[in-house]
């Protein structure tokens, strides 16, 4: 039995839209329009603590990578990203997306063995973004 291409494409598009809708509905901390749900004072306090931890871990990534210890740098990066995942649902989608792009960029640099100066530059940019924009959203 053959299914024509138009019907197959339609089924694929419907499946993708339905799957995306389910992901949006089930993602904690976000409403259907993609905006962060207002965080409680306790959640913001915990997120600020996690943010401080992320910033400390990112500095450790830079230090470890500059000293030639790529394995430790990757471990610290993974810890920073795990802490970041606790924060991102509590801030605006725009700010979370910007920071996620920076995390992705740094992760790619670490995996590809990029130059330490590039890693340092990316880490400094991330620290600035976290210090200014993200910290402001968690007040």
CATH class of 38-137: mainly alpha
Q: Give residue 34's pLDDT.
A: 47
Q: What is the pLDDT of residue 38?
A: 64
Least confident of 15-19, 46-50, 97-101, 131-135: 15-19
Q: What does the alpha-carbon distance between residue 81 and residue 107 come to, in Å, rounded to a whole number?
A: 9
Question: Tens of pLDDT along 47-73?
Answer: 999 999 999 999 999 999 999 999 999
Domain edges within the chain:
1-35, 38-137
- Find the mean pLDDT for residues 121-128: 96
Annotate 16-53 with three-state secondary structure: HHHHHHHHHHHCCCECCCCCECCCCHHHHHHHHHHHHH
pLDDT of residue 15: 58
Can you give the pLDDT at residue 139? 85
pTM above 0.75, yes or no: no
Would you say residue 30 has pLDDT above 50? no
């Amino acid at each position: 039995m053959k299914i024509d291409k138009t019907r197959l494409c339609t089924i694929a598009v419907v499946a993708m839209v339905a799957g995306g809708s389910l992901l949006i509905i089930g993602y904690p901390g976000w409403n259907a329009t993609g905006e962060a749900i207002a965080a409680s004072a306790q959640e913001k306090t915990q997120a600020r603590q996690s943010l401080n931890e992320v910033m400390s871990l990112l500095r450790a990534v830079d230090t470890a990578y500059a000293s030639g210890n790529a394995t430790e740098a990757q471990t610290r990066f993974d810890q920073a990203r795990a802490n970041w995942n606790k924060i991102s649902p509590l801030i605006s989608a725009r700010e979370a997306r910007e920071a996620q792009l920076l995390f992705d960029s740094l992760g790619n640099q670490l995996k590809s063995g990029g130059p330490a100066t590039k890693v340092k530059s990316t880490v400094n940019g991330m620290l600035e973004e976290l210090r200014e924009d993200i910290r402001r959203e968690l007040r």
